[in-house]
Amino acid sequence: MAVKSDIKTVATVADPRWARVQARDRSADGAFFYAVKTTGVFCRPSCAARPPKPENVIFFDTAADAEGAGFRACLRCRPSAAAGSAAVTEKMQRVAEFIRAHAHEPLPLARLAAHASLSPAHLQRTFKAVVGVSPKEFQAAERIRTFKSRLRNGDSILNATFDTGYGSTSRIYERVDGGLGMTPSAYRAGGAGETIRYAIRDTSLGLLMMAATERGVCFVQFGARPDMLVAQLTAEFPRAAIESSAAGAAAPLDHWIDALNDHLSRSGPSPALPLDLRGTAFQIKVWRFLLSVKPGMVVSYTEVAQAVGAPKAVRAAARACAANRVAILVPCHRVLRADGGLGGYRWGLDRKRALLDAERAARAQKAGA
C-alpha cells in the first residue's frame, strides 16, 4: 500500500496542475478541477481550503467530469457556480479573439492549446461547449466572413483569396456551398450573375414568399405586403437578377410554393424541397438538426444545443433559430423553451402556435388511423 501511495504522490506532484493548486492560482479556475478521494469533494484550483495530500488528489478537465465520477461540489469555492462558468467562457472568448486575429494563418490545435495554456483535448472540448463549434470550424467561419467582407468592400477575388489564407482560388470555391452560397464573383457583385426567382401566395397563415436559386430554396418569409417581401429579398441580394415566377409557369418554384401552400392551407404533406442554406458553420448545424425533427414533435433550445455537440451554447442555438431565413421548411417553430413555453418566433407566436397545433393534430390523426 505504501508503494502505491508513493507512486500516486510522485505522479501528482509531477503534474503541473498540482503546483497551481498549491499556489491557489485563480487564473487556472475553469481550466481544470481537482477532487479529493478522502472527502468526496471537488474544487477549483484557487479553493481556500487546506490543500489535500497529493496522493488523494484526482484531476478533472470539467466540473461535469468530476460530478460524473461521483464527487460533489465544494461548498466553499463552489466550482459549479456561475463564476466558474464565467471564467471558462472568458478564457474561450480570448481564444476566439486570437483565432479572429490569426484566421489567415495555419492554426493547429496544438498552437491554440499552447496559447491558452491548456491541453489540446481540453481546449477542443471546452471551446466547442462554450462557442458552439470546434476551433477549426470557428476559424473556417472567420475566414469566409473576412473573405466576404473583403469582396463587399471592392477587393479583388485574387487578393481576398490569398490575404485570407486560402492559398489558391480553388480552395475558396470549395467553400461556396458551406458559407458563401454562390460563386465569389457573384457574391462580390452583390449577387450579380445570380438569378433568384420568387413566388408569393396567400396562405392560411398570411402572405408568403418563397425564393430560390439554382441550388434550391433560399428564402421563405411571411409579410404584410408583396412589396415589403420583395424589398427584403432584394436587400439580401442587391445586385442579383430578382424575377417573379408567375403562377402556373412551368418552373419548379411554382410547384414548390404550391406544395407548401397546400401543406399550410389544407394540411397536406410537408414538402421535401431542395434547400440553399446560407449561414455560419454553427447555424448550418442547427438548421440541419431541425430538419430531422419530425412534424408533431418538439425540442427545447437546450436539446438543440446538445444535439449539435455544444450543450452550453443554448443562447447561440436560439440565435441560430432566430436567424433562419427559410420558414417552415427549416422548422424552427418546433423549438420551445425548456419550460414548454413557445419562446420566440420571428414571424409571430400566433403563427408558431398554429403550425404546432396543425402538426400535432395531423400526427394524432395518423396515429389513430
Task: Reply yes or no on whether 321 is catalytic.
Answer: no
What is the distance between the alpha carbons of residues 98 and 103, in angstroms, rounded to a whole number?
A: 8
Task: Reply yes or no on whether 332 is catalytic.
Answer: yes
CB 41 within 8 A of CB 78: no
Distances (CA, A) of 15 to 8, 24, 34, 43, 125: 11, 15, 12, 17, 21
Residue given cell 493547429 in the structure block = 108
What is the distance between the alpha carbons of residues 3 and 347, in angstroms, rounded to a whole number?
A: 68
For residue 48, the SS3 value is coil
CB 150 within 8 A of CB 172: no
Cell of residue 158, nine digits: 485574387
H/E run at residue 199 = strand 195-203
In DSSP notation, 210-256 reads EEE-SSSEEEEEEESSHHHHHHHHHHHSTTSEEEE--TT-SSHHHHH
Query: Which burial class, exposed, middle or buried, applies to 359 when counting CB atoms under 10 A from its CB (0-12, 13-18, 19+)?
Result: buried
Q: Could you say which DSSP state residue 56 is in?
A: G
Q: What are phi and psi of 326, to 5 degrees?
A: -115, 80
Pick from 209, 277, 278: which is nearest to 245 by CA? 209
Catalytic residue, chosen from 47, 77, 321, 332, is 332
CB 227 within 8 A of CB 286: no
What is the distance between the alpha carbons of residues 250 and 254, in angstroms, rounded to a whole number?
A: 7
Catalytic residue, chosen from 43, 74, 218, 321, is 43
What is the distance between the alpha carbons of residues 171 and 167, in angstroms, rounded to a whole number?
A: 7
Q: Which residues are catalytic?
A: 43, 332
